[in-house]
C-alpha cells in the first residue's frame, strides 16, 4: 500500500514538474509578447501626447495672432470673451489629464513628451491671460492709454 | 534699424548671462533682433493695439525660454528692449503683471524723451552685444 502511495506522489510531482517545465519553455515567448505590447502602448501614448501638444501650441499661436487685429467691434470682443472662457475650460481638462502622468514621469516613461505637454498647457494659460490683458484690462488703465497717445508724438 | 535698451533690460541681461543655465541668452538675442527689419519683428503678443509703435512681448528660445518686452517705433526705425526674464531655470519666473507692463511702457517713453538709454551694437565677429550710454555715444 505504501509503495502505491509513493508511486502516486512521484507521478504527481513528475506531472507537476513536467507541466511547469512546459509552461516555462513557452514563457519567454509570452513575456516577449507582453513586453512588445507594453512598448507599443508606450509608443502610442507618446504619439498621441505629441499630437495633442502640437495642437495646443498651434492654438496658442493663433490666439497670440489675435493681438495684432485692429479695431475690433463689440461683437468681436464678446466672441473673444467666449474664446477666453473656453480656453480656460480646455486648460482645466488638460491639467486633469496631466496630473496622473506624474506616475509615468517618475518611472522615466515619456518624460520629454510629458514635459512638453505641460509646457504647452502653461503657454495656453499665458496666451488667454495675455489676450484678456490686451483687450480687457490694459485698455482700462489710464496710465497705459495715456502712454500710447503720447507715443504717437515721439 | 537702431537698437536701444533701458537700464532694466541691461541689468537683467547681464545677470542672466553670468549664469550657466542662461549662457545662450546673448546668441538668442543677437539671432532674433540684430539685422532685422521692423516687419520681421511683427510677431509675438502686441500689448498696445498700436500700428506705428507696437509694444510687443515675445517668447524667445523656443518652448519655455525667455520673455522679451520691447517697443518698435516704426517711423524712427528704432527698437527699444525694455525687459527680459526666463520662464524656467533657477531665475525662472511667472509673467509680469499688467501693472508692471504699464510701468515699463511709461518708463520707456520717458527714457526715449530724456535719452536715458543704451545703444546696442555688435562687436567685430558679431558674437557680443556692446552697450553704450547714449550721452557717451
pLDDT in tens, chain A (154 residues): 677 788 888 889 989 999 988 887 777 666 788 888 989 999 999 999 999 999 999 999 999 999 999 999 999 999 999 999 999 999 999 999 999 999 999 999 999 999 999 999 999 999 999 999 999 999 999 999 999 999 988 8
Does A114 or B65 have the greater pLDDT score? Answer: A114
Higher pLDDT, B94 or A84: A84
Q: How far is A68 from chain B (nearest CA, A)?
A: 6
Confidence of residue B136 (pLDDT cuts 50, 70, 90): low
State residue B125's pLDDT score. Answer: 87
Quickly state the pLDDT bin for B112 (edges 50, 70, 90).
very high
Residue B42's pLDDT is what? 92
Tell me if B89 sits within 8 A of A130, measured CB to CB. no
Helix (H) or strand (E) holding B59: strand B55-60
Amino acid B44: pLDDT = 95
Residues of chain B in contact with residue A62, where contact means CB-CB under 8 angstroms, are none
Of A138 and B94, more confident: A138
Residue A25: what pLDDT?
79
Contacts of A139 in chain B (CB under 8 A): 49
Nearest to B72 by CA among B137, B9, B11, B1: B1
Report d(CA B25, CA B41) in Å as an integer: 18
Interface test with B, best of A53, A151, A153 (most B CBs within 10 A): A151
Decide: B117 and B5 in contact? Cβ < 8 Å.
yes
> B50 vs A148: CB contact, 8 Å cut-off?
yes
Whether residue B63 and residue A119 make contact (CB cut-off 8 A), yes or no, is yes
pLDDT at A7: 83
Span B3-26, mean pLDDT? 93
Task: Measure CB to CB from residue A116 to each of B63, B87, B98 and give the nearest one.
Answer: B63
Residue B110, domain extent: 2-136
**Is the Cβ pair B46, A138 closer than 8 Å?**
no
Asked whether the beta carbons of residue B48 and residue A64 sit closer than 8 angstroms, the reply is no
Contact A84, A128 (CB under 8 A): yes
3-state DSSP percent of chain B in helix, strand and coil, to 5: 35, 30, 35
Q: What is the pLDDT of residues B21-42, one digit of tens each?
A: 898 899 999 999 999 999 899 9
**CA atoms of A150 and A152, how far apart (whole Å):** 5
pLDDT band at B91 (very low <50, low <70, confident <90, very high): confident
With beta carbons under 8 A apart, name residues in chain B contacting A113: none
Check CB contact of B48 with chain A, cutoff 8 Å.
yes
Amino acid at each position: 500500500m505504501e509503495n502505491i502511495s509513493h508511486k502516486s506522489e512521484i507521478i504527481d510531482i513528475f506531472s507537476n514538474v513536467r507541466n511547469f517545465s512546459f509552461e516555462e519553455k513557452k514563457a519567454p515567448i509570452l513575456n516577449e509578447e507582453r513586453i512588445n505590447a507594453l512598448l507599443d502602448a508606450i509608443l502610442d501614448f507618446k504619439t498621441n501626447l505629441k499630437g495633442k501638444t502640437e495642437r495646443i501650441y498651434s492654438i496658442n499661436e493663433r490666439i497670440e495672432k489675435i493681438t495684432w487685429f485692429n479695431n475690433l467691434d463689440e461683437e468681436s470682443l464678446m466672441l473673444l470673451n467666449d474664446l477666453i472662457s473656453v480656453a480656460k475650460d480646455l486648460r482645466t481638462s488638460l491639467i486633469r489629464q496631466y496630473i496622473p502622468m506624474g506616475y509615468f514621469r517618475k518611472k522615466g516613461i515619456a518624460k520629454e513628451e510629458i514635459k512638453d505637454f505641460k509646457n504647452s498647457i502653461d503657454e495656453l494659460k499665458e496666451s488667454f491671460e495675455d489676450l484678456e490683458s490686451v483687450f480687457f484690462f490694459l485698455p482700462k488703465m489710464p496710465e497705459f492709454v495715456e502712454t500710447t497717445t503720447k507715443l504717437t508724438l515721439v | 534699424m537702431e537698437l536701444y535698451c533701458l537700464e532694466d533690460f541691461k541689468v537683467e541681461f547681464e545677470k542672466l548671462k553670468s549664469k550657466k543655465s542662461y549662457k545662450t541668452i546673448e546668441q538668442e538675442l543677437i539671432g532674433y533682433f540684430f539685422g532685422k527689419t521692423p516687419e520681421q519683428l511683427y510677431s509675438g503678443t502686441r500689448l498696445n493695439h498700436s500700428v506705428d509703435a507696437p509694444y510687443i512681448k515675445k517668447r524667445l528660445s523656443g518652448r519655455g525660454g525667455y520673455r522679451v518686452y520691447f517697443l518698435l517705433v516704426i517711423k524712427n526705425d528704432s527698437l527699444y528692449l525694455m525687459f527680459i526674464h526666463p520662464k524656467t531655470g533657477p531665475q525662472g519666473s511667472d509673467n509680469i503683471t499688467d501693472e508692471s507692463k504699464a510701468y515699463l511702457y511709461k518708463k520707456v517713453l520717458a527714457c526715449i524723451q530724456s535719452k536715458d538709454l543704451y545703444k546696442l551694437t555688435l562687436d567685430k565677429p558679431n558674437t557680443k552685444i556692446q552697450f553704450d550710454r547714449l550721452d557717451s555715444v
